Amino acid sequence: MRILITAQAIYSHLAPLVLPVAERAREAGHEVAIATGAGVVQHIEKRGLTALTLPHMQSMGEALQGGALRPPPEMAKVGSVTVELAPEFFAAAFVGHLAEASTPDLLEVAKSWQPDLILHESTEYGGYLAAESLGIPHGALDIAPMAPYAHPAVTEELNRQRGKLGLAPVNDAWHPFRDFRAGVVPEDFYPTDSRLPGARYYQVPTQTAQGGLDPDIAQLSTDRPLVLATLGSNAPRLPGGAHALLEIIVEALGELPVTGVVALGADRDPRQWDGPRPDNVHLTSFVQQELLLRSSDLFITHAGFNGTREALAAGVPMVAVPLFAEQSHNAGRLHELGVGTRIDVQDVTRDSLAAAARTVLEDRTYRSRAQGLQRRSHALPDLGRLVEDAAALAA
């Protein structure tokens, strides 16, 4: 079977699910290709996978920088306040501009490559539109469960795009996901109103870092709880590089009886850090997050979905400080499930963050609930089953 997977030209949209699914499909004997923008093709080819370049696909950053998309005014405050993801912006950006630019390329790719099945990562609507136009079975790889897929603004924009292709409108907001939606967290992470009958759930294999854990981190004190803190790969790109927020995190950990590890960002040398340096906090530019979470007692995170998923799979409770995109919704869901607590950026102080961390560390119910989700994560079928289930759509 020939399986075409489509993804936004953003590495974080590829790495957690698209690339491992493509590898498992190839191992199962299918012919697989990933269609995306030129900016991330090297990550696909590095894994020995086939990349089909879409010349008109832009990343969100490129669309914003080029003026094709206008960011909401509040985005200028990212790093100093938590910016909620506006459904109207999601609709205009992902379902509108980004999909409209890439759909003609995907139609050409699909006509020439002739896939039997198209899988699109959940924020990439061009693959869905091309599949609908050509009558090809399709399904979604859900990399952002809390995005506002069901909002009326999304349905309205979806129908506008369908109309341009001569497709009839739909009144089901979940139409792109109905036939097959592959989630990678247990079903109970999803709010009840977004649990679809056709959805299935799988576990992503642990990605072992080459060379193992940083020896300096491995030798840190073991007589206190270990707290890992990171704001993700986008933090250095925020106004001021989120420097003030990182300073508060370092200061708060310095006040607690813990061993802290704070990742400042891959491009930030900790030797040049001019902020606080408590003796109990280890500063690093990059950390093998998934590996270190296995031995962490608490995760201070911006609540991006990939890190959230990794922490849940490791049974680690969280203090979430959401920055932008759907992170606020992820953080709210963690709070609702009782596996973490949330502080918006504008409410973060040394004292408030230290108090939140202390609460989650001392109240063992947070850890117990996180471990419950961990057990349910470990009970999910692997990506081999995902490939089998998806392939059945085209059988």
Angle of CA points 103, 107, 109, to nearest 5°: 115
- Looking at the structure of the chain, the number of domains it has is 2
Shared domain check, 168 and 237? no
Three-state DSSP class for residue 116: coil
Write out the H or E segment, with its range, that includes residue 5. Answer: strand 2-6
* Model confidence pLDDT, tens digit, residues 113-149: 999 999 999 999 999 999 999 999 999 999 999 999 9
Ramachandran category for residue 301: left, alpha or beta (phi over 0 → left; psi -120 to 50 → alpha)? beta
Q: According to the model, what pLDDT value does residue 239 have?
A: 67
Q: According to the model, what pLDDT value does residue 283 have?
A: 97
Shared domain check, 154 and 222? no
Q: In this structure, what CATH number is given to the domain that contains residue 152?
A: 3.40.50.2000
Shared domain check, 190 and 253? no
pLDDT at 94 over 70: yes
Shared domain check, 132 and 11? yes
Residues 35-63, mean pLDDT to the nearest whole number: 94
pLDDT bracket for residue 243 (50, 70, 90): confident
Contacts of 24 (CB under 8 A, 6+ apart): 382, 383, 384, 386, 387
Shared domain check, 385 and 365? no
Shared domain check, 234 and 148? no
Shared domain check, 172 and 97? yes
Helix then strand count (H, E) for the chain reads: 16, 13
In a domain, 209, yes or no: no
pLDDT at 109 over 70: yes
Shared domain check, 225 and 186? no
* Model confidence pLDDT, tens digit, residues 364-395: 999 999 999 999 999 999 999 999 999 999 98
Q: According to the model, what pLDDT value does residue 82 have?
A: 93
pLDDT bracket for residue 233 (50, 70, 90): confident
In a domain, 210, yes or no: no
In a domain, 126, yes or no: yes
In a domain, 192, yes or no: yes
In a domain, 223, yes or no: yes
Shared domain check, 196 and 222? no
pLDDT at 240 over 70: no
Domain of 352 in residue numbering reads as 215-378
Q: According to the model, what pLDDT value does residue 208 have?
A: 63
Shared domain check, 193 and 305? no
In a domain, 208, yes or no: no
Angle of CA points 48, 311, 139, to nearest 5°: 50
Q: According to the model, what pLDDT value does residue 62 have?
A: 85
Shared domain check, 25 and 174? yes
Please provide the average confidence, as pLDDT, over all residues in the chain.
94
Shared domain check, 385 and 253? no
